[in-house]
Amino acid sequence: MSGRTEQGRDLRIFAGDKLLWIIVAVLATISVLVVYSSTAKMAYDAHTARTTAHFLKQQLMILAAGTVAIFFTHRINCRFFWRYAALFYLLSLLATVGVYFIGVQTNGAARWIPIFGFQLQPSEALKVTTVILLARQLAVRQDKIAKLRIVPSFNPVKWALPEQKKIWREGTIPVVMPVALSCAVIFPAHFSSAMIVFAASWVMMLIGRVNFRELCRLVLAVAIVGALLMVLQLGRSSTASGRIGTWIETMTTPYDAENPKPVDKLTDTERSMIAIRNGGVLGEGAGQSVMRVEMTHPESDYAYAFFIEEYGLIMGIMLMMLYLWIFFRAMEIFRRCGTAFPGLLVLGLALLITCQALLHIAVTVNMAPETGQTLPLISRGGSSVIFTSVALGMILSVSRQNDEKSHLAPKKESILEK
């Protein structure tokens, strides 16, 4: 079965990059194993009557919803996302702002809106829509992007000058402002998510041929704003500074073999490193984790360490390579795009997924402070799985259209220069 019409449209159920589909299937399978075993602690909690089967069923339903999201999204022409980029961005931005007023608070941060029993995290949608809008804004400016200034003077007094007004009008507002607004509304609830959005957007601008000097000035501006937030202890900056302090202390405090700290005095990161050590090369075996009852969130924030404890370092390395493979497949899809928007869209979305995964892994091995970032498609969760699936669906949509050679550039978009 060729799965193609005379017009070349790919009618296969799973169209697009086959290897990417395989990676998604493998990650979903690992998610089932991790969630089923790691939720034993929650199941045996005296304050709940739920069983591991309950959490497994819940995760299977979420993964099923994610599969549906991937399937339907990958059948949509990426020009649909081009056309409604601003609308999607605005809706997700307003929802993320609204969560601070009507959302559910966890650990001092309002992040979720309860909808028919489902806890929606609008910031996950905002991360995706920021990439869509930025890809469009960069695409329509490809003919002049290399000379475009996007960062105005650091002296506000000069902003009234005609030259500075032009920078604001042509560069800062259309290109930088969407990213800045996204980071600003995500930051009070999740500092690390704001960092991921900025990092992915910065790389998109770099690949989108924004002047490197302007990108350096943008980093400097963000560093200044970040320092001010830390000094004024605004948003989650106090939590972030506390976690950084704990991380530095853990990194610099020598291990006392004669007087080891009791397990209940260890940080979650220290417990995750014990779990990794317990796993060794081949792992303790499925369902044999010891540290799952000690870690606060083995099913989400420390899923990677839990996976290594049960399945070993070799499988852990292979899992990390799967996330890197997503980015490499995105690079291949990018190279096949003839126009700017789909190529930048694919790279931006792949960066979001890969950066989140690598940050999660870095935390579990104490290479970064605790962030609360989940492992994409594996950790127990709802919104993260759904919107990661949507992002993967968009990547597969571009891949499908590459195969069909059906990318049609709008009049305003330039050809992608690589």
Query: Would 37 be classed as within a structural domain?
Result: no
Tokens (6 digits) for 136? 């469009």
Q: What is the enclosing helix (H) or strand (E) of 99?
A: helix 85-102
Q: What are phi and psi of 16, to 5 degrees?
A: 90, -160
Per-residue CA distances from 50 to 30, 36, 54, 290, 378 (Å): 22, 12, 6, 21, 21
Rg of the Cα atoms in the chain: 22
Give yes or no for residue 89 having a pLDDT over 80: yes
Average pLDDT over residues 168-195: 91
- Give the bridge partners for 105, in sequence order: 110
Query: Would 217 be classed as within a structural domain?
Result: yes
Query: Would 344 be classed as within a structural domain?
Result: no
Q: What is the pLDDT of residues 193-235, one digit of tens each?
A: 899 999 999 999 999 999 999 999 999 999 988 888 777 766 6
Alpha carbons 349 and 128: distance in angstroms, whole number: 7
| Helix, strand or coil, per DSSP, at residue 330 | helix
Alpha carbons 111 and 96: distance in angstroms, whole number: 8
pLDDT band at residue 117 using 50, 70 and 90 as cut-offs? low
Give yes or no for residue 371 having a pLDDT over 70: yes
| Helix, strand or coil, per DSSP, at residue 106 | strand
Query: Would 293 be classed as within a structural domain?
Result: no
Closest by Cα among 315, 312, 317, 319 to 379: 319
Give yes or no for residue 324 having a pLDDT over 80: yes
Per-residue CA distances from 138 to 183, 190, 386 (Å): 18, 26, 26
Share of the chain above pLDDT 90, in %: 43
The pLDDT value given to residue 418:
46
Alpha carbons 333 and 350: distance in angstroms, whole number: 11
Alpha carbons 52 and 57: distance in angstroms, whole number: 9
pLDDT band at residue 46 using 50, 70 and 90 as cut-offs? very low
| Residues sharing a CB contact under 8 Å with residue 246, sequence separation 6 or more, in sequence order | 267, 369, 370
Contact predicate 120/112, CB 8 Å: yes
| Helix, strand or coil, per DSSP, at residue 415 | strand
Q: What is the pLDDT of residues 48-85, one digit of tens each?
A: 556 777 778 888 899 999 999 999 999 999 889 999 99
Closest by Cα among 332, 331, 303 to 319: 303
Closest by Cα among 35, 42, 38 to 61: 35
Query: Would 292 be classed as within a structural domain?
Result: no
Sort residue 379 into left (φ over 0), alpha (ψ -120 to 50) or beta.
beta
Residue-wise DSSP of 178-207? HHHHHHHHHTTT-HHHHHHHHHHHHHHHHH
Q: What is the enclosing helix (H) or strand (E) of 115?
A: strand 109-115
Contact predicate 142/133, CB 8 Å: no
Model pTM score: 0.88
Q: What is the pLDDT of residues 343-359, one digit of tens each?
A: 999 999 999 999 999 99
122-139 and 177-186 helices cross at what angle (nearest 10)? 170
Residue in the structure block whose two tokens are 């560093």: 223
Query: Would 209 be classed as within a structural domain?
Result: yes
Query: Would 345 be classed as within a structural domain?
Result: no
Structural domain for 233, as ranges: 92-102+119-243
Instruction: Please return the burial class of 168, using the count of CB atoms within 10 Å of its CB with bins 0-12, 13-18 and 19+.
Output: middle
Q: How many domains does the chain have?
A: 1
Tokens (6 digits) for 271? 């417990």
